Chain A
Amino acid sequence: MIQGAGKVAADGSPAPAAQRGGDRAVSVNIQGVSKSYRTLRGEDVQALDTVDLAIEPGEFIAIVGPSGCGKSTLMMLVSGLIPATTGTILVGDTPVNGPITSAGIVFQRDLLLDWRTVLDNVLLPVEIRKLDPASHLQKAKDLLASVGLSEFEDRYPAELSGGMRQRVSICRALVQDPDLLLMDEPFGALDALTREQMNQDLQRVWLRSRNTVVFITHSIDEAVYLADRVIVMSSRPGKIADIIKVDLPRPRRSTVRSDKRFIDHVEHIRQHFMALGILKDD
């Protein structure tokens, strides 16, 4: 689906191993970070136990874990939109002390603005950041075309399906070429087929931009397919239970799913969830 402009290495040829990270990709360092929320009743709820994680520039990180374990919380902490209770986060060399603006964010909910057309929704970051409108207009159109939404540029969000809306919100995050891409279950609302296609498309786009990606998902399969490293989190309060390095060559085709190493990785993560009591056999 994504056949956007640009030179894509012919499928199959492995990506040059030395070339890790685009020119502007940033590192992310999470050091001793935890988060408690104060509920309306005045109690403190610990959403995230202490987390330490170093993400290299241009690395693709996937985070899997049970519902409510603090995945979205971790993403919000990295984006600086909510403050950490303890610990520090560095994006590049800069400590996060407030909303960072170098990241493109795909939230768990699509958050499209009802009063803007699809194209204007994608162009929102361009307007707010006061980027060059002309060049980004073309970029926005290319992105929408690459997710099969060219025909819908002038429609309003209320006229789209859930999956289409989420694709628009992905285009919105990508239009500004972010150094860091934070995605919270972006494909959760998609059917299995479209989802597999989107995985492939995301990988292709990412191989070109090589920015740093933090990708949250419920799907073990999706995590292993996309990521350089998969972070497995335990139940609330969430902490890192394991980190699995996936060194399957890129670009990965959809057939990689039947590869022995792929299956082993998926099985390994599944075992984790069984051990944590999240997955149970009858």
Chain B
Amino acid sequence: MTSAGSARIPSASPNWLAAWISRNGLMLAIVASIFGLWELASWAFAVPEYVLPKPSVIVGTMITSWRLLLLHAAVTFQEVLLGFTMSIVIGIPLAIAVVYSRLFERIAFPFMVSLQTVPKVALAPILVMWLGYGIMPKVMVAFLISFFPIVINAVIGMRSAEKEMIYLVRSMGANELTTFIKIRLPKALPSIFGGLKVGIGQAVVGAVVGEFIAAEYGLGYLQLMAQVRLDTALLFAAVVVLSLLGVMMFNVVAWVERLMLPWNRLATGATE
């Protein structure tokens, strides 16, 4: 192998920390300066704690109330994960059905599209009425919200294989199943992951909205409680934890994508 060959493999040297900082440094600096300004301004203009707590106070609350935050975060995480998994387990096979069956394409697909225009948030109270106060209604809202982007992207992806590429494997004697496994599915994966990345964010929104309606646990519920008690610092701490949860779950999806589709960064010119 030539030097160009080895350059593709990320180096495992101890410099990874330096590399990480050089890649994310700018973003870190921006975030740090926003919080710095915020801190300074709250202090300079003497903004009351119950209107806008200082970042230092929010962090303090996060440290002192970490058990509480973790308990509720775990519930929200569970709801998001279940709803999102449901979207994948139901959405991908449905996408396959839409691609392969005229009936599904003509009936199920328009139905799904029109359902998409119904605000899922408005369904949440009904779901609570049906499913009670447990995690199920939240899982359902998370599922309903994240389902559509996953299906539509999977359908678009599986339809993106060129006619000639299908011809190619047909001339090798491939049947429809082989064509699906060797061409349509791998060809669709970048698009499917696009849908998953949108979907995971939507699932977080869905779960929290569900918790706003009626809940006994979860970060959305914690926010409501904090609001009632005028504990603004806890309210903000819950927002921070929620954001961290969302970012973490998004990054897991992105990481799986990079792992599964190393070629995609090359093919789409996403490499530096």
* Partner-B contacts on A (CB < 8 A): 76, 79-81, 99-101, 103, 105, 107, 109, 111, 113-116, 124-125, 127-129, 151, 154-159
Asked if B90 is an interface residue, CB under 8 A from chain A, the answer is no
Binds A, one of B97-105, B120-128, B163-171: B163-171
* CB-based nearest A residue for B166: A81
Asked if B2 is an interface residue, CB under 8 A from chain A, the answer is yes
* Residues of chain B within 8 A of A81, CB atoms compared: 167, 170-171
Would A107 and B164 count as touching, CB distance under 8 A? yes
Identify which of A124, A129, A151, A158 contacts B2 (C-beta below 8 A).
A151
Would A156 and B263 count as touching, CB distance under 8 A? yes
Binds A, one of B32-40, B47-55, B182-190, B237-245: B182-190
Identify which of B162, B170, B266 contacts A159 (C-beta below 8 A).
B266
Q: In the docked arrangement, what's the CA distance between A39 and B172, Å?
A: 28
Q: In the docked arrangement, what's the CA distance between A127 and B172, Å?
A: 9
* Residues of chain A within 8 A of B227, CB atoms compared: none
* Residues of chain B within 8 A of A158, CB atoms compared: 263, 266-267
Would A105 and B263 count as touching, CB distance under 8 A? no
* Residues of chain A within 8 A of B14, CB atoms compared: none
- A115-B186, A124-B182, A129-B173 in contact; A107/B168 too (CB < 8 A)? yes
Asked if B17 is an interface residue, CB under 8 A from chain A, the answer is no
Would B263 and A115 count as touching, CB distance under 8 A? yes
Would B266 and A156 count as touching, CB distance under 8 A? yes
* Residues of chain A within 8 A of B164, CB atoms compared: 107, 109, 111
Would B172 and A100 count as touching, CB distance under 8 A? no
* Partner-A contacts on B (CB < 8 A): 1-2, 5, 162, 164-165, 167-174, 178, 182-183, 186-187, 189, 261-264, 266-267
Identify which of A76, A115, A128, A156 contacts B169 (C-beta below 8 A).
A128
* Residues of chain A within 8 A of B168, CB atoms compared: 105, 107, 111
Question: Whole-angstrom distance from the CB of B192 to the nearest CB of chain A?
Answer: 13
19 A-B interface contacts by CB (under 8 A): A81-B167, A81-B170, A99-B170, A100-B171, A103-B171, A107-B167, A111-B162, A113-B183, A114-B264, A114-B266, A115-B186, A115-B187, A124-B172, A124-B182, A125-B172, A128-B172, A151-B1, A155-B5, A158-B266
Of A115, A124, A157, most buried by chain B (CB within 10 Å of CB) is A115
Of A79, A111, A113, most buried by chain B (CB within 10 Å of CB) is A113
Q: In the docked arrangement, what's the CA distance between A101 and B175, Å?
A: 12
* Residues of chain A within 8 A of B5, CB atoms compared: 151, 154-155
Q: In the docked arrangement, what's the CA distance between A113 and B167, Å?
A: 13
Q: Apart from A124-B172, A154-B5, list 7 A-B contacts with CB within 8 A.
A: A107-B168, A114-B264, A115-B187, A115-B261, A125-B172, A151-B2, A151-B5
- A103-B171, A128-B174 in contact; A113/B186 too (CB < 8 A)? yes
Q: In the docked arrangement, what's the CA distance between A71 and B2, Å?
A: 40
* CB-based nearest B residue for A125: B172
Q: In the docked arrangement, what's the CA distance between A151 and B167, Å?
A: 29
* Residues of chain B within 8 A of A127, CB atoms compared: 182
Would B171 and A129 count as touching, CB distance under 8 A? no
* Residues of chain A within 8 A of B187, CB atoms compared: 115
* CB-based nearest B residue for A103: B171
